Amino acid sequence: MVWIMSSAVSGLALLTGFTSAVATQADIELPEFTTLSVPEHPHHAIRIKEQSDEICDAGSRQWTGWLDTGGKHLFFWYFESLNDPENDPLSLWMTGGPGGSGLVGLMLELGPCLINDNGTGTVHNPYAWNANSSMIFVDQPAGTGLSYFDKDVTPPSTSYTAAEDMNIFLRIFYQAFPGLAAVPFHIVGESYGGHYIPALAAEIVAYNTGSPPPEFKVPLASVLIGNGYVSPADTTWGFYDTLCTTKPGVPEPVFNETMCGRIADALPRCMYLQQACYGFPDPIICGAAAEFCFSHVDLLYYQDVKTGGRNPFDITRPCETEKICYGAGDGIEGYIKSERVLAALEVPEAVGKNFSLISESVNERFALAGDEFLSTEGDVKYILESGIDVLVYNGDLDLACNTAGNVRWTNKLSWAGQVEFVSRAPEPWFAVKGGERVRAGLWKQVSKVTRGGKETRFAFVTVEGSGHMVPLDQPEVGLQMVRNWLSGDFGKAVRGGVEVRVKGEEDEFVSLDL
C-alpha cells in the first residue's frame, strides 16, 4: 500500500489513526534461535527457527526469525515452495508503505495462509504464490511491523539505505539455505515497492558486479512491480485518466466535468514542478511541487477517503475501515498481537505490543527525507540494461498507483528496447477463472539483448477487475500471471493457457483455443 504521511503526496494517512510499531529497546531479551553469519559481515547475523502449521496453515515447511544488522533487526517469514522446493525459484515479497508490514502480503493477499473471517486464525490459500516458488516475506525497513532497532541507532529513511540492509539480509539468508543459491531469485512487491524493488535490485546488481567480485552473487533473475509507485509525477498525471474516463468495470467516470476540468487545468503546472524536483532534488523545490500537486489534484479525491467513503485502492468500492480500507487488516493486527502468535514467533514484548500493519514513524522518516518525491525510473533502466527481466503489472481499478501513470513512465523509459516497446500495441491476455477462459487484461513485452549479451524482457500487464492488490482482488488470475512470467514465456497467457508444473511429472500446458 502507498501510505505517505506527507500531506503533499498522499493525504490518505492523514485521515487515519495509525500507531507506530517501533521498539528501540537495546536490552530486549533474545530467545533461543539458530544463529548464522558470514565472514564479510561479522557484525550481522540471522536468527531463525522452524514453525509448524499451527499459526499459519501453509502446508509447506516454514521458518521465522530476524536479521540482526548493525543494531537493526528485520523480521522475516520464509515458506518453501509447495511444488519442488529444491528446484523452484525463490521470491522475496516487499510490501509498500513506506512502513507496510510484509504480513499484509502474507495474510491478506498472496501468502500460503490468509486471516480467517473473525481474525482468530488462518486458512490455507489455494492461490498462494508459493505454489511454484519459495517465498520470503519481510518487515523492512527497521521499525516496520515486527522489525525493530536499538537505542542510538539511526534507521533507514530512504529506499537506498533500506536496500543496503536488505542486500546483507539476503546474503546471510543464503547461508541458512545454501541450496537456494542454485535457483533463480525474483523480487516481487507492490505500491511503494515501486521504490523499494528497483533500489534493492540496483544494489544487488552493483554488489554482484563490484571489484573485486564477491565470492557469492545473489542470483537475481527478475523483478515484478505490482501497482508500483515508481514515478510520482506520472502517478499524479494518471489521476485524470483514472477518474475522468471509462474502462472495464467503470461504465461512468468517477468525477463530473467540473472536477475533471480542475484536474486538467492543474496538471501542466504540477508536471512542470515535478520535473524541476527531479532535476534538482532540493527539499524546498520538491516540497513545493508535492504541495501543489496534492492540493490541486490528489486532494479532490482523498478528501472523501474515510470509512464508508471513497477507496483510493479500488475506485469501485467503498473504504471499509480506516486501517488500509480493508477490514481484514484489523483482523491481522489482532491475530499477530495475540499471546499465542507472539509466543510462537518469540516476538520481544516491547515489539509485539506496538505491532501495527503500517508504521507511522517509518512513513514520516521517509517523507522528511524526501524519498517519496523522487522517481526510481533510473534504477529500472539500470537493472534492465544489466540483464534483469522486469515485469510491471497493474490492477486497472487502482487510483493510488494507477495504470495510466505506470503506462506513461514505462513508455518513456529510455532503454535499449524503448522504440519497440512504445510502438507495440497491447494485446489481450487470458486466464482460467472458475474453470472458464476469461479475458484477464492487456499485455505487451519486448525482449532485447542488453549488456553482457543476455536477452532481457520488459513487460507491462494489466489485470481487469482488480484494484491496488491483484492477489486479493483476482487471486486465480494473479497466480496464473506470476506462473507464466516465471516460466519465461508470458506469451502462453495470450493464447489462453496456464502453466502447470507438478513435481515428478512433465510440465503440462493447458491451451484453450480463442
Catalytic residue among 44, 73, 186, 468: 468
DSSP assignment of 458-472: EEEEEETT--S-HHH
Q: Cell digits for 122?
A: 488462518
Instruction: Identify which of 497, 490, 498, 495 has the alpha carbon closest to the alpha carbon of residue 460.
Output: 490
Residue type, 308: G
For 423, list phi and psi in degrees, rounded to 5. -80, -15
The vertex-282 CA angle with 293 and 202, nearest 5°, equals 90
- Say if CB 144 and CB 359 are below 8 A apart: yes
Catalytic residue among 314, 371, 389, 398: 398
Catalytic residue among 60, 191, 361, 386: 191
Residue corresponding to grid cell 480542475: 262
Q: Is 468 a catalytic residue?
A: yes
Range list of β-strands (E), 434-488: 436-449, 455-463
C-alpha 234, offset from chain centre: 18
Q: Is 191 a catalytic residue?
A: yes
Give the list of residues 6+ apart from residue 441 with CB closer than 8 angstroms, or none.
Answer: 396, 428, 429, 461, 462, 463, 464, 477
Distance from C-alpha of 302 to C-alpha of 298, rounded to nearest angstrom: 6
Distance from C-alpha of 355 to C-alpha of 103, rounded to nearest angstrom: 11
Distance from C-alpha of 281 to C-alpha of 278, rounded to nearest angstrom: 6
Residue corresponding to grid cell 521499525: 143
Residue type, 144: T
The vertex-151 CA angle with 43 and 204, nearest 5°, equals 40
- Say if CB 421 and CB 391 are below 8 A apart: no
C-alpha 222, offset from chain centre: 14
Distance from C-alpha of 291 to C-alpha of 324, rounded to nearest angstrom: 23
Query: Which residues on neighbouring strands pair with residue 444, listed in sequence order?
Result: 460
Residue type, 344: A
Catalytically annotated residues: 191, 398, 468
